[in-house]
Amino acid sequence: YLYLQYTDVYGTVIQNEIGTVTTKVTQTSSSGVTFSQPSSLPSGITEYVPITLQNSQTSSTPAPFQQMIQINEGNYASYITYNGNFANFEFFTQSGSVLPAWIESNNSGTLTVWVNLPNGIPASSSLTIYLGFASKSTNLLSSSGTTGVGEAPQLSSTYGQYDDGASVFNFYDNFAGTSLNTTKWSVNDITYSVSNGFSATFAYALYTGIWTASATYSPPIILDFYGGPYSSPPFGETGFVTNTTVNNCGTFVTSVSGNIYGQQQNSTSYARSGTLATSIIGNQIWTVIWASSTTSIYQLNYGNNQTESADAPTPPLYVGLVKAGPGPFSHTYFVQWIRVRAYPPNGVMPSVSFGGVSS
């Protein structure tokens, strides 16, 4: 506030009136990064942390873009609370608009969250967003995608109660309830069940299963699913597929011995990546990074990258949970959630820098 002296339109000198001066306030983190303060806070937010996302690449991210942010809960022990049925935090923009966000996991005090950035991040630029905290008695978990924060369906005691994945990712399904959403999926000659997850026993015929009813994709794009095989021999192939022939691109397949591979396949041949796993395992996060029209990268829990650059069919392709080999499958093939998200520029996710807590 300032005391002012000025002459009004009538020529009268006015003194000692109080005027408000608006300034742009910044703060600096321990790493030396300067952050702008928000101009507005969402309702109920009492403290916040600025987060700078730096795109180091010479091309912009897609828009929208899903940014992974990992929060060390110990750094904010005085402010944050989360237990699967309760969370007191959300993400928002400089103007105070809440950003759709989805909690993927909470492991050893580290929260992994995906935040939807509707306009992406320009090339060689940074974007500041904010992690806001309400009181520890305010639950901000929500499935709306417009307020609060959502989470993976299996994290809450009621399956999918706070799941806003459809607001965060380019394509998403959590197979909630007991029936398949046929506005999202087409079905071909398959015995399956839906019970807060998708399970299937495949018929003898080649290329049976489900695939997206209308949504198709071209590289670069990323598919993740949470689930997996529970027995050998092979489990169905999940990834980018055609819907008319025994062609697929960027799928997972299990050998008779139980090894799990990534595989690219066209109408005449297939090529397999290195081994992702050497035994049948339960629910994990499986990733197909369709980096180009010829190259897929396969990951298990975001690690153990295996690449294949041969025998891929021509895009665009559907997302499918299918079988591309002869003989019936008698094991349980299970997927709890599946999503498609944006590919970061040159495969490099923008870096994340946290500022200090402000109120």
Would you write out the chain's pLDDT as a tens digit for each of its 359 residues? 333 343 333 344 444 444 433 334 455 544 455 677 899 999 999 999 999 999 999 999 999 999 999 999 999 999 999 999 999 999 999 999 999 999 999 999 999 999 999 999 999 999 999 999 999 999 999 999 999 999 999 999 999 999 999 999 999 999 999 999 999 999 988 888 999 999 887 666 667 889 999 999 999 999 999 987 655 555 567 899 988 777 889 998 877 677 888 999 998 899 999 998 887 677 899 999 999 999 999 999 999 899 999 999 999 999 998 876 666 665 567 899 999 999 999 999 999 999 999 98
Structure tokens at 262: 């990534």
Position 246, amino acid: V
How far is Cα of residue 262 from the mean position of the Cα atoms in its chain? Answer: 21
Res 5: pLDDT: 40
Any idea how long the chain is? 359
Structure tokens at 216: 């198709």
CA distance 59 to 76: 34
